[in-house]
A and B are shown apart, each in its own frame.
Chain A
Amino acid sequence: MRRAFFILVPWATIVVLWYAIHYSGLVNPALVPTPHSVALRFWELAGQRLPRDIWMSTQRVFLGVTLGILLAVPVAFVLGWYREVRGFIDPLLNFFRALPPIALIPLVIVYFGIGETAKVVILFYASFFSGVIVMYEGIAQISPIYVRVARTLGARDFEIFLKVIVPLTVPHMLTALRVALGVAWATLVASELIAAQQGLGSLIQNAASFFQLDIIYVGIICIGFIALAMDLGLRAVARQLVAWQERIA
């Protein structure tokens, strides 16, 4: 009860502020639709294109992040484990990570067209580079004491990998997944803004051409809540998987 109250307070505050801005006279009310008109628009769209938009966007993010992390895991293992390799690869990884995926969109369109592939490629790129760095830095920090203990108990290399390195990597994998999801959502909307018939980005883009501010708000709020839901879901999974950690994510 108390908990629910404390969770609701910040949200309620935002809504109140939002109303205050609308009615304050400081800005042209036409430029800031009221929360209830946005809510109404949400209901209306929920019966039309919105479910499809949400589905398409979520699916793209899911695909891109899954593929990106699937590749990031083995690469991160190699980099985390072999110090010598890291010296060469590290600058390369940081170079590619520093490029905003959005800047690559024009190139991706040239090479992959404007279909689904192009979007998944961009999200894959974004997830891979953000995820791999988080993960291999985590793996590189694994204390060698555990490997030593395992060796004195008789563990061979493959047993050390499976029974020591992998479990110690799970928390870093989850962190990488969260980071990748965040980056992927940010990138997704940009890629949909440019070229897409469906998805929350295209919903926003279409609304912008007709100056339908309330729809833009609906799109933005949906993105926020979906990303929040995914993050909460991941954290719930993390609490189960890494219950052994001193600090729970």
Chain B
Amino acid sequence: MSAPAGNKDRIAFDRVSVEFQTAAGPLRVVDDVSYQIGDGEFVAVIGPSGCGKTTMMNIVAGFVEPSSGAVLLDGRPVAGPGPDRGVIFQEYGVFPWLTVKQNIAFGLKLRANRVPQGEREEICARYMRLMGLADFADAWPKTLSGGMRQRLAIARAYSVRPEFLLMDEPFGALDAQTRSAMQDLLLEVLQAEGKTVMLITHSVEEAVYLSNRIIVMTARPTRIREIIEVPFGYPREESLHEKPEFGELRSHVRELVMKEYAVQARQRTRMSD
């Protein structure tokens, strides 16, 4: 987090295009996208819903292969999913058959990152404490609120010490209060152990508050509309929301995003003609 932006490319989109084969023929979703994420950077990707954000994240995560171009991790093309990239999915994916603690321990019991039991206990305890889950160690996920499930998903992703954190609209389903608390918690945890972060969001406020660079995407097939540097340093506090510079940047980004939503709406009406 403290590292200056762009000193070394960790994630690089190199002329990436994605086309899905659908019943109605090929659907171009991502169109010739190139950008880089440097070490310790926090990049927010924003754009109208359905434009192809999740698809881009899925390429980095290793679940989707680009039709052309490549995504490079430290210079090497992505080859399938792996524990170096922690992924927070839109729908959390907390394992319902495991307790809170067992969820966090899951990754640590796998061949790929097995650690001795003592260390495992320590790691679990540490993230349960950090994420405010310590009192729920033996609870079933079905008894947790949305915010707690989200924190559990983050704790589980962190437990295997990923270098990258990929988050797909992680706070989208939370109420405003919980959402704001989760954002601060995320910043806090990142402050403690830096990661290179790619955050997908449709909230302009969230993008400006959390990231040091915002990539605004166009409507589908998605291209880069604009890349915006966020000039605020870390750590950040709630009061940042009230600053005039924050407001200006937010308005600028919002305007861009709204334009893309308008483009998308026009596409839709044209298609239904």
> Which A residues have a C-beta under 8 Å from some C-beta of B?
145-146, 148-156, 159, 163-164, 167-168, 170, 242-246
Contact = CB atoms under 8 A, between A and B. Distances in A.
A246 B97 CA distance: 10
Contacts of A156: 110-112
A148 B93 contact: yes
Contacts of A244: 96-98, 140-142
A48 B97 CA distance: 48
Given A148-B89, A152-B81, A156-B112, A245 B142 contact: yes
B117 interface: no
A154 B110 contact: yes
* A152, A163, A244: residue with the most chain B Cβ atoms closer than 10 Å: A152
B83 interface: yes
Contacts, number: 72
16 contacts: A145-B91, A145-B93, A146-B93, A148-B89, A149-B87, A149-B89, A151-B81, A153-B107, A154-B113, A155-B112, A159-B110, A164-B95, A168-B97, A170-B97, A245-B96, A246-B96
Nearest to A243: B140
A155 B141 CA distance: 21
Interface string B218-254: 0000000000000000000000000000000000000
* B93, B98, B107, B142: residue with the most chain A Cβ atoms closer than 10 Å: B93
Interface of B: 61-63, 80-83, 85-87, 89, 91, 93, 95-98, 106-107, 109-113, 140-142, 156-157, 160
Given A148-B93, A152-B83, A154-B110, 15 more contacts: A145-B91, A146-B95, A148-B87, A149-B156, A150-B106, A152-B81, A153-B110, A154-B83, A154-B113, A156-B111, A163-B106, A167-B97, A167-B98, A170-B97, A246-B142
Given A243-B140, A245-B142, A153 B93 contact: no
Nearest to B96: A244
A154 B107 contact: yes
A154 B112 contact: yes
Nearest 5 A/B pairs, CB to CB:
A154-B112, A154-B83, A153-B107, A149-B93, A151-B81
* B82, B106, B142: residue with the most chain A Cβ atoms closer than 10 Å: B106
Given A148-B63, A159-B111, A163-B106, A153 B160 contact: yes
A42 to B, nearest CB: 44
A149 B95 contact: yes
Contacts of A167: 97-98
Contacts of A155: 110, 112
A156 B109 CA distance: 12
A149 B152 CA distance: 13
Nearest to A170: B97
A167 to B, nearest CB: 4
Contacts of B98: 167, 244
Contacts of A145: 89, 91, 93
